[in-house]
Amino acid sequence: MNPESLPKDSAGWRRFQSLLGLNLVNLWLGVVIGVSVPFLTDYLKESRWSFSEIGVATALFGAGTLLFQPLSGLFAEMIPHHRTLLALVIFIYGLGLTLLPFAGGFHPVVDALLFLAGGASAFFFTLSSTLAFSLSGHRQFARIMGQTQMSNHAGFLVSAGGTAALIHHLGLSAGFLPITLGSVLGILSIGLIRRRDMIYHQQAAGVFREDRDEIRDDRPLGRVFLDFFRTPAVRVLLLSTALFQISNAPVMPLLMLYLRFLDGGNGKLAWVVILAQATMIPVAWAAAKLSGRWGHKLVFSLAFFIMPLRSMICASTMNTGILLSTQILDGVAAGIYGVSVALIVSDLTRGRKGFNLLMGLSQIAMALGSVVGPALQGVSVGNVGFRFAFLVFAAIAALAAGIFSHFMPDPPRAIS
């Protein structure tokens, strides 16, 4: 986002302010969620929680995310005040985690706070994508999504480095500071986004305006929901993204376990996260740029085909350097995914109601994959070992790639 390219008038600079606010929101979202769960595991362990109690607590965080995920798209579709809604869920997330140290060893309170924080986090990607869509319209959506995803991945890196430094110098409890500060700054950044710059702020009412075009969609939300499942392209999107996440979610923790098994220490583990997140930043920009040239389907297909390649490399080597380098492939695939899934959704809902609702449904598919994948990881490693487990996830990733590339129309067509 280059201010020199904007018109030198007050309207142009005000729009720059809104886009700056959107990117800052995504930066701080990356900060608050970047290391939350790994940090919480260490904090609870230091607080003398048993492994079973820690498992229940982190499972409740995931359960909150999964249970509230269906509501994220529905709320965004029904409530036009997307800025207020995003500020509210950031507040709930930040408050829930900030209060944890004060809950002491009272497990029911900690469990409840984690459940609420997980539920709030379910809204983040859907609402931030909605705001990007509202500020850009279809024509500029790829560019704006590329910017927001770059900001989000940069926030993850800031979170990882900043939290590690704070914990090293001030102790484990200091890890809550980035979450608290990031939540406050995220809410303040939303104030920079101006309502009058949001092209689609009347979407909930069925009125769409892009440049000089106006399209009305009078279908009730129930009909919109049913029409999604009658549309083959939507079914392909939901199935392939669920399989994508089943094959993707377990591989990073599985790789960390494998590296610890091979190397006997934790020295390389930080690089598993750093390499992936650092790769995602330029890839998000490139994915947005290339989508306009090559088409949204082709660019998204690259992410699908990278995943089986990554897992097959992991299955074929015990060289820790090569294993670490596969995180670059993970960064490429995830960087493309963060941009492309929203672009495909915008194609499938172009000129119609349902962008927010379909974004929520795609996140449900991802959340289901995040539950099934780790469960499959535990079964695979426990019974057949690391290398065969990587092959299992490579096969699932290949299935996802085949379904998406063969059955998704090109270009993805709006729902009729």
Burial class (CB in 10 A: 0-12, 13-18, 19+), 202: middle
pLDDT at 164: 77
Answer whether residue 350 shows pLDDT above 70: yes
As its CATH architecture, domain 1-216 has Up-down Bundle (1.20)
The residues spanned by each domain of the chain are 1-216, 222-416
| Cβ atoms < 10 Å from Cβ of 325 | 15
Q: Note the pLDDT tens digit of each residue in 289-341.
A: 999 889 999 999 999 999 999 999 999 999 988 999 999 999 999 999 999 99
Q: If you average pLDDT over every residue of the chain, what do you get? A: 83
Q: Are 404 and 308 in contact (CB under 8 A)?
A: no
Residue 124 CB-half CA count within 13 A: 30
Q: What is the DSSP string of 132-193?
A: HHHHHHHHHHHHHHHHHHHHHHHHHHHHHHHHHHHHHHH-GGGGHHHHHHHHHHHHHHHTTS
pLDDT at 65: 86
Q: What is the model's pTM?
A: 0.82
As its CATH architecture, domain 222-416 has Up-down Bundle (1.20)
pLDDT at 12: 60
Answer whether residue 224 shows pLDDT above 50: yes
Burial class (CB in 10 A: 0-12, 13-18, 19+), 416: exposed
Asked if domains 1-216 and 222-416 share a fold, the reply is: yes
Q: What is the mean pLDDT of residues 198-221?
A: 53
Q: Are 412 and 348 in contact (CB under 8 A)?
A: yes
pLDDT at 145: 92
**What is the identity of the amino acid at 396?**
I
pLDDT at 38: 66
Q: What is the DSSP string of 47-101?
A: TT--HHHHHHHHHHHHHHHHHHHHHHHHHHHH---HHHHHHHHHHHHHHHHHTHH
- Distance between CA atoms of 291 and 141, rounded to whole angstroms? 11
202 or 183, which is more confident: 183
| 39 three-class SS | helix
Q: Note the pLDDT tens digit of each residue in 230-275.
A: 999 999 999 999 999 888 888 887 888 788 788 755 556 668 878 8
Nearest residue to 192 (alpha-carbon basis) of 16, 7, 33 = 16
